Amino acid sequence: MELVDMYFIQDKISTKKIYNSSKPIILILDSGIGGISIYTEIQKKFPNINYIYVFDNAGFPYGNKHEIFIIKRIFNIFKQISSKYSISLAIIACNTASIISLIKLRKHYIFPIIGLVPAIECSISRTRNGIVGLLATCNTIRSAYIRQLILQYSNKYKIITISSNRLVNISESKFIGKKIFLEEIHYVIKPWLNLLEIPDTIVLGCTHFISLRDELQQIFPKNTCLIDFNKDILYRINQILNYKFHRAKSSEENIVFCTCINSKAIQISLLLKRLGFTVFKKLVLT
């Protein structure tokens, strides 16, 4: 996934904070567990930060929902979190939500917001046979943003797509330790495997798919390159944090929010505890 360029707009909403921390707080948001792979990478590089991870399990999955529904939820989450915490940086670790809401969010909030989008440009520079496969959600693939990118490269490269909500669910199942079947993943990507010329570079254009990398690598021919997200994100985060906080250390606890408490959310929260999220709460949306 690639980083959408960051910009700041003046006259944005200012909010009164209940918990005003002098420490940097990074908010990471996804519909489910997809953003965890992104969190893990970021946390390795920036361990002394407070992390708030929100998984909108009441709105899950985003991939097949109406655009207005997703925008409303993301705005609602941002409103609730930013009214309680001083967010230093927000990362939308969800391609579907980024494509739909990033520009609108940046017009409303003063803190920097990074969004992940499918790493098409990275894959174009890597492909050897000129065929790139984009694996993402329905909303991502039919977005104007992706259609425009496909058109832009169409005279030199072939970008073919598969949208799958099934893979999103398989990824969630894998995370909570349920048995997943390679045949099911194979079935989703079969249309590409039957082609005369198979894409040699695959963009994992949904953060959920990053956790299925090993399974996908087993199914595709050995030399297939799987591209998850653009590591420039780490460089950007560094720039933002160094500029604003000069490597501030934090002792606050990392918090995970869900939007609906059920047995799966509790299972996820227990797994997230091992990843450093010691507090688990429900985020009430208005």
Alpha-carbon span 241 to 262, nearest angstrom: 35
- DSSP β-ladder status, 225-227 and 201-204: parallel
Of 24, 61, 133, 199, the residue at the interface with ligand DGL (CB under 6 A) is 61
What stretches of the chain show up as alpha helix (H) in DSSP? 34-45, 67-84, 95-108, 120-126, 138-141, 144-153, 166-175, 182-193, 213-219, 232-245, 263-274
Active site residue 258: no
Q: Taking CB under 6 A as the rule, does residue 106 contact ligand DGL? A: no
Q: Find the binder of ligand DGL among 60, 192, 229, 280 (CB under 6 A).
A: 60
Question: Which DSSP state fits 23?
Answer: S
**Residue whose CB is less far from ligand DGL, 82 or 143:** 143
Cβ-closest position to ligand DGL:
63
Cα separation, 88 vs 110, in Å, equals: 9
Residues 33-52 as x/- pattern, contact with ligand DGL by CB under 6 A: -x------------------
The yes-or-no answer on residue 206 being catalytic is: yes
CB of 131 to ligand DGL, least distance (A): 22
Site for ligand DGL in 130-159 (CB under 6 A): 137, 140
d(CA 42, CA 283): 23
Closest to ligand DGL by CB, 49 vs 168, is 168
Give binding residues as ranges. Answer: 30-31, 62-63, 95-96, 207-208
What is the set of active-site residues? Answer: 94, 206
